[in-house]
């Protein structure tokens, strides 16, 4: 175990060199967020006092977007997928085949340290931003909900990571993985609730999306926080999310096993 703690330590140090990048990313990220909030504000004011969109009041809608930003900061893969693909392409994984170190766990440690550093940089601007909008920001209904939210966020992070890892494994077979990553990311972007809460979609469509892993990559933890899933539904949701995490993990392991058979370290 000690070696992986060491990896996390090194990962944090490496990521700290990108602190300026992280800060720029956080601050630039606020611009489209503010823009979307303005659009919603205009829509709500056009509808008159006390208007609702789906089940959302104006405060609910703004909270939704703030929460997606927070969950995203906590769980999104940053450069991990590109780096893994590059490791494979450049033959850097050869050294891991010789060392008593598991590449997946190694990358997971780096992902963890990356998120930790990102949060350290993004926490202050994010907190200031939420504070400015505090009159629209709802708090979780009770402690249990908040606990379930935290659990769900951890599962979300694992799901994000394993899916990205499995995708990056394509680098064993194709020279250029970025197109595949962007295609999957496009689906994820809309079906995970990045653009809008999924329950303002026509019910049939929202139901279909629930059969994919995408809502569990963002939408699910946010709705847990907002108290939209409770009791049995909450338990069921967490089980399904866990199932997707395990499935993605199995896929990641499987792709690695298959890939390594095909692997030839070119110039490595």
Partner 1 sequence: MTKPSHSNPTGAPGSPEPNPQTPSLGGLSSAGGWSRYPRIYAALWRNSVTREMIFKSNFLLWIVVELLWFGLQLSFIGVLYLHTDHIGTWTKWEVILLIGASHFIQQIFQAFFLINCTNLSELVRTGKLDFLLLLPVNTRFVVSLRQVDLGAFVNAVSAVGVMVYAARQMHLVPTALQVVAFLLLCLAGIVIHYSLMFLLASISFWTVKAQGIVWGYYNLFQIARLPDEAFRGVFKAIFTFAIPMLLVTNVPVRLLVNKLSSPGPLLLLLVMSVACFLVSEWGWRASLKRYTSASS
Question: Are the C-beta atoms of residues 77 and 162 closer than 8 Å to each other?
Answer: no
| CA–CA gap between residue 54 and residue 38 (Å, rounded) | 18
Q: Under rule CB under 8 A, which residues in 2-21 are in contact with partner 1?
A: 18, 20-21
Phi/psi for 19 (5° steps) reads -60, -35
| CA–CA gap between residue 158 and residue 53 (Å, rounded) | 32
State which residue, 48 or 231, has the beta carbon closest to partner 1.
48
CB of 177 to partner 1, least distance (A): 8
Piece of 91-99, 147-155, 190-198, 246-254 that binds partner 1 (CB under 8 A):
190-198
Q: Under rule CB under 8 A, which residues in 118-137 are in contact with partner 1?
A: 122
State which residue, 46 or 100, has the beta carbon closest to partner 1.
46
Q: Check residue 41 for interaction with partner 1 (CB under 8 A).
A: yes
Residue 209's CB is within 10 A of a number of other CB atoms, namely 17
State which residue, 182 or 254, has the beta carbon closest to partner 1.
182
| CA–CA gap between residue 104 and residue 219 (Å, rounded) | 26
48: left (phi over 0), alpha (psi -120 to 50) or beta: left
Could you list the residues that contact partner 1 (CB under 8 A)?
18, 20-21, 24-26, 28-29, 31-36, 38-39, 41-43, 46-47, 53-54, 68-69, 72-73, 76, 78-79, 82, 86, 122, 176-183, 185-187, 189-190, 194-196, 200-202
């Amino acid at each position: 175990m000690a070696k992986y703690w060491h990896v996390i330590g090194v990962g944090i140090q490496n990521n700290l060199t990108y602190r300026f990048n992280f800060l720029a990313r956080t601050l630039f990220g606020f611009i489209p967020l503010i823009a979307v909030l303005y659009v919603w504000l205009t829509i709500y004011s056009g509808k008159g006092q006390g208007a609702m969109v789906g089940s959302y009041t104006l405060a609910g809608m703004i909270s939704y977007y703030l929460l997606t930003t927070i969950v995203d900061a906590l769980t999104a893969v940053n450069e991990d997928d590109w780096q893994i693909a590059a490791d494979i392409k450049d033959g850097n994984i050869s050294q891991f085949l010789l060392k008593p170190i598991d590449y997946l766990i190694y990358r997971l440690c780096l992902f963890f340290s990356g998120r930790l550093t990102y949060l350290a940089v993004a926490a202050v601007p994010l907190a200031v931003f939420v504070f400015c909008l505090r009159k629209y920001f709802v708090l979780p209904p009770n402690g249990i909900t908040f606990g379930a939210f935290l659990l769900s966020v951890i599962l979300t992070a694992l799901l994000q990571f394993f899916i990205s890892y499995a995708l990056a494994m394509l680098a064993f077979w194709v020279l250029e993985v970025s197109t595949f990553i962007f295609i999957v990311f496009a689906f994820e972007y809309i079906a995970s609730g990045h653009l809008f809460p999924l329950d303002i979609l026509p019910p049939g469509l929202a139901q279909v999306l629930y059969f994919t892993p995408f809502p569990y990559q963002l939408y699910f933890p946010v709705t847990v926080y907002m108290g939209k899933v409770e009791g049995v539904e909450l338990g069921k949701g967490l089980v399904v999310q866990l199932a997707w995490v395990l499935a993605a993990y199995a896929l990641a392991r499987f792709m690695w096993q298959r890939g390594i058979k095909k692997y030839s370290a070119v110039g490595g």
